[in-house]
């Protein structure tokens, strides 16, 4: 049995991102890799980005809805990190030549006001520690060939994180039924997918609770000031140059971007 080298595997995945090149999934060489190994690789990848001067905007959750789990054929929620260089202004442009094979998904983001330290955190505790919620779209760009991966591959690849866009309106979560938000995802005026926010583990606040409880395993926590993507409500849709993308979230507003060469 071969043993996976965390540092060199992280460097391999980082090169794939910077060279915009899809690569063979790492479980092809390391089929016995554990979830713990995968998060160790992810940590190394995060360290590489931090050493380059990038800043973490927040941890994110992925594969929190049935739509996403079925689409990617992975049955378990995961976390990763989004960085400052990934943030695109609302209505701004995504440059295709910087990416491999990007897809978009509609999400709800949480702006955290107070630290949330697991284990045992509930959705109600998350809501009490949340300043605002914001509509969001995430652009995911798996570094793996044909966007195909297993649970451990996608964890190591920082959960396909690539770009994200936040809406302009900050909404107090107390003013909303946050599990009953209708969501549409449109490209060039045509609805490509739709859903309701309860698709995200029953309530998007539960996704942040799950995150706090997962981070507690490594002695970490959700921090005041973190902006947290709670996971795609809709399935992810492939992007092409020329696309104008818009997500509408009932009571939260609209968020979008254009895809250029």
Residues that bind Mg ion in the complex, under the rule CB under 5 A: 138, 232
Closer residue to ligand OOG, CB minimum distance, 129 or 199: 199
The only residue of 17, 37, 44, 138 in contact with ligand OOG, by rule CB under 6 A: 138
**CA proximity to 129, closest of 151, 148, 155, 110:** 110
- Does the footprint of ligand OOG cover residue 68 (CB under 6 A)? yes
- Determine the interface stretch with ligand OOG among 108-116, 154-162, 186-194, 240-248 (rule: CB under 6 A): 154-162
The angle formed by the CA atoms of residues 48, 86 and 236, to the nearest 5 degrees, is 115
Tokens of 37: 């190994």
Closer residue to ligand OOG, CB minimum distance, 42 or 159: 159
- Determine the interface stretch with ligand OOG among 81-89, 122-130, 135-143, 250-258 (rule: CB under 6 A): 135-143
Q: What are phi and psi of 15, to 5 degrees?
A: -60, -40
Q: CB 109 → Mg ion: shortest distance, Å?
A: 10
Q: CB 236 → Mg ion: shortest distance, Å?
A: 8
Indicate the burial class of 251 (C-beta count within 10 angstroms; 0-12, 13-18, 19 or more).
middle
User: What is the spatial distance between Cα 191 and Cα 242, in angstroms, rounded to a whole number?
Assistant: 16
Tokens of 223: 């921090």
Q: Which residues bind ligand OOG (CB under 6 A)?
A: 62-63, 68, 72, 105, 107, 138, 140, 142, 154, 159-160, 231-232, 236
């Amino acid at each position: 049995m071969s043993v996976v080298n965390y540092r060199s595997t992280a460097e391999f995945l980082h090169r794939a991102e910077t060279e915009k090149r899809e690569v063979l999934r790492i479980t092809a060489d390391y089929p016995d890799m554990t979830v713990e190994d995968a998060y160790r690789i992810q940590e190394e990848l995060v360290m590489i980005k931090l050493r380059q001067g990038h800043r973490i905007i927040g941890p994110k959750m992925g594969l929190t809805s049935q739509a996403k789990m079925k689409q990617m054929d992975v049955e378990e929620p995961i976390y990763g990190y989004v960085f400052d260089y990934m943030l695109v202004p609302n209505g701004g442009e995504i440059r295709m030549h910087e990416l491999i094979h990007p897809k978009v998904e509609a999400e709800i983001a949480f702006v955290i006001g107070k630290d949330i330290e697991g284990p045992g955190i509930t959705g109600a505790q998350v809501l009490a520690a949340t300043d605002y919620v914001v509509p969001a779209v995430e652009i995911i760009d798996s570094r793996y060939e044909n966007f195909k991966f297993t649970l451990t591959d996608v964890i190591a690849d920082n959960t396909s994180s690539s770009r994200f866009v936040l809406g302009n309106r900050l909404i107090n979560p107390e003013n909303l039924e946050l599990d009953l938000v209708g969501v549409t995802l449109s490209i060039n005026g045509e609805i490509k997918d739709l859903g309701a926010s309860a698709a995200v583990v029953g309530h998007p606040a539960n996704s942040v609770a799950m995150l706090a409880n997962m981070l507690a395993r490594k002695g970490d926590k959700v921090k005041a000031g973190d902006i947290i993507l709670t996971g795609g409500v809709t399935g992810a849709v492939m992007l092409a140059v020329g696309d104008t993308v818009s997500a509408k979230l009932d009571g939260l507003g609209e968020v979008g971007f254009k895809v250029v060469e």
